[in-house]
Amino acid sequence: MLALMSGSCPTLKIAGRDFGCRAMAFFQTEEGRANFVVALDDPTDDSHVITFSGDNGRRIEDNLYELPIDRMLLKSKDRPKVDGLPVPSVELSTGICKQVGSFATGKVSSIACNATDKDGNKYDLRYESDGSPITVRRVSQTRAGRPAISPFD
């Protein structure tokens, strides 16, 4: 599942540096790993993407989802590339993301994530929706191994 959201990041701090965000998405693999993906507004690197990643996310209430974070995925222009795209650096981390809202209703109002990697680097995200409905799609593997995206109802 892929959910694309529009809004802003009043707080996006990566290892002591402040950034804005260009885009925000949620992606869940068929195996259940969940990812909050943030494209950073970095004028020096248009490939700068961070991902808060974890397993065992759970709905706490109708309007609250929590995801324990066990790794951060870091992409930048300096990373090795496969098929032209940067391969992420995987940093073992601990933390949590909390999402207010629901993909089922098409409304997510906010996301807050905090994580610390094994080297003590801190990652802090505060995302706020602009009120637009989110776009949710189902992504599945085709026989050729390429992802197919279709509307998720």
How many residues can be counted in the chain?
153
pLDDT score for 142? 53
pTM: 0.86
pLDDT score for 151? 37
pLDDT score for 62? 84
pLDDT score for 1? 83
Two tokens, residue 22: 């260009």
Which stretches of the chain score pLDDT less than 70?
140-153
* pLDDT tens-digit map of 22-33: 999 999 988 889
pLDDT score for 153? 32
Q: Which residues contact 53 (CB under 8 A, 6 or more apart)?
A: 33, 34, 35, 36, 69, 70, 71, 72, 73
